[in-house]
Amino acid sequence: MTQDPLTLYKLITLYMLDRVSFPLTKAQIGDFLLGHDYTNFLTLQQVIAELIEADLIRAASRHNRTYLEITEEGRNTLSYFENRVNDSIKEDISAFFAEHEMEMRNESSVMADYYKSTSGEFEARLLIKEKDVTVVNLTLSVPDEDTAAALCSNWQKQYQDIYQYLIAKLF
């Protein structure tokens, strides 16, 4: 039986999201699908939009990233059709996760965002999460958007050093 390529890409996306305990970004899923030449960028965007519309995955945007998680309905759907994802694709996904899981986990558990507060200043919210537990939740008020954006960018790069510094100073 021949399978519609869009259906296969949707199943691959659901399969990937079901195999991790943290949200994946659109870019991470794209890295796999585009990196293995399964599809192109526009088709990937269509696949993700249709999965969200069907409530098989949910999306949350933070700063300039969109994080995706599988829903219970997505898990149920995958359980019926997972056999349509062939074993070689599953092996490719396993190898991709083995190579990139720590990097992907860090990207999903270290968050930074900023917004304009009612006082007119900008607030940068910096987080570290471990599974569903917030380990660090730090909000800094700064006078302008450029500074807030720089804080968010630097947090992504230096969160480990900052966390270790806080622990050393506070304990």
Enumerate domains of the chain plus CATH numbers.
5-107 (1.10.10.10), 110-170 (no CATH)
CA atoms within 13 A on the CB side of 73: 8
- DSSP sequence for 45-98: HHHHHHHHHTTSEEEEEETTEEEEEE-HHHHHHHHHHGGGS-HHHHHHHHHHHH
Higher-confidence position of 2 and 67: 67
- Distance in angstroms (rounded) separating the CA atoms of residues 87 and 104: 23
**Range with the poorest average pLDDT among 53-57, 146-150, 156-160:** 156-160
Q: Across all residues in the chain, what is the average pLDDT? A: 88
The string of pLDDT tens digits covering residues 91-143 is: 999 999 888 877 777 666 788 888 899 989 999 988 887 766 788 899 999 99
- DSSP sequence for 84-150: GS-HHHHHHHHHHHHHHHHHHHHHHHEEEEEEE-TTSSEEEEEEEEETTEEEEEEEEEESSHHHHHH
The string of pLDDT tens digits covering residues 73-85 is: 999 999 999 999 9
- Distance in angstroms (rounded) separating the CA atoms of residues 15 and 74: 9
Percent with pLDDT over 90 in the chain:
50
Question: Could you tell me the strand order of the sheet in which 57-62 lies?
Answer: 24-25, 65-70, 57-62
Neighbours of 43 (CB within 10 A): 15
Tokens of 19: 């195999």
Question: The pTM is what?
Answer: 0.69
Q: Is the pLDDT of residue 64 over 70?
A: no
CA atoms within 13 A on the CB side of 22: 21
